[in-house]
Amino acid sequence: MEKRPAGGNKADPGPLIHYPDFEKLKAAVGKLRTELSMLVLEKDELLLVECRNIEMLYMLAVGGLEYKAFRLQCRVLRLRRKAEMIQARKNRQERVSLPEIEEALDAQFAEYQARLEEKIGRVNAALERSRGQPLSVEQARELKKRYRNIVKALHPDLHPELGGARLQLFYNAVTAYENGDLDGLNLISAMAGDTAPPDAREDGIKALAREKARLEGLLEGLRDRIARIRAEYPYTMKAFVRDEKQIGARKAELEAAIAQWQEALAACQARIREMTG
């Protein structure tokens, strides 16, 4: 008969010890994971779908007029500053170099130019989104279902141990969800697998307790994030884009502002011609 070493087989972990609280803790962690996956889906639905649709509708309604008004405002402010700089040089009896003044103005109004480019970028993004092919109700429902399953299997908050290719798979899923790519999500969903649960050993219980505390912290942060999204632009424009009366009033307000800035622009241009003529 084969003799067993006195110390026993070190590779054998031995029988599992029964811990009465293990199943209760495991169930609590499972519930937290489910809640977290649902909140992640809610947050991504807000950010990647609903808010983008709201901003698209807002930009299509009044974005062009807002851009035009802001562009005129920037031109007027720049010309007023240009007139001040010309007058200052004349008062000091200095040579007036228009190229030097324009270079200085470029630096002073760089922030305004950046904001102009941001605004036109948003308008272009809205136009591009409006040309996309919308999903049917059934396809949209399937998209959310697939994405939630992927979140449960691959989200780094739920599975901090994941890395490399599987983490990239999750980021690819976010992009596919954002773009309404149901075929891409179906493929990623098929590739995503479940992670192995801890066993009922003492170290497994400690790991579950740590995981429970970590998930509770993540849930609190996620609830705060969702509240902030709902309190900020573009979500705050949700009622506006559905109200033709509000849209009409905003258009009238912008058109009046544009007319005022056009008058101011003509006056500034006339003053510059007079000063440099």
230-247 mean pLDDT: 98
Residue 201: pLDDT over 90: no
DSSP state of 194: P
170-189 mean pLDDT: 89
- 193 phi-psi bin (left φ>0, alpha ψ -120 to 50, beta other): beta
Q: Which SS3 state, helix, strand or coil, does residue 197 take?
A: coil
Residue 173: pLDDT over 70: yes
Alpha helices in the chain (DSSP H): 22-44, 51-58, 64-91, 98-108, 110-130, 137-154, 164-178, 182-191, 202-231, 244-276
Residue 190: pLDDT over 90: no
DSSP state of 87: H
For 46-68, the pLDDT digits (tens) are 999 999 999 999 999 999 999 99
13 Cβ contact list (under 8 Å, min separation 6): 201
Which of 24-33, 47-56, 157-166 is the most confident on average? 47-56
Domain limits, the chain: 28-135+232-276
The whole model's pTM is what?
0.78
Q: Could you tell me the CA-to-CA distances from 42 to 38, 47, 179, 246 in Å, in that order? A: 6, 9, 16, 28
Q: Could you tell me the CA-to-CA distances from 271 to 151, 253, 277 in Å, in that order? A: 62, 27, 10
pLDDT band at 203 (very low <50, low <70, confident <90, very high): low
Q: Could you tell me the CA-to-CA distances from 226 to 151, 170, 204, 230 in Å, in that order? A: 17, 21, 32, 6
The residue that leads in pLDDT, 72 or 20, is 72
Number of neighbours of residue 209 by Cβ within 10 angstroms: 14
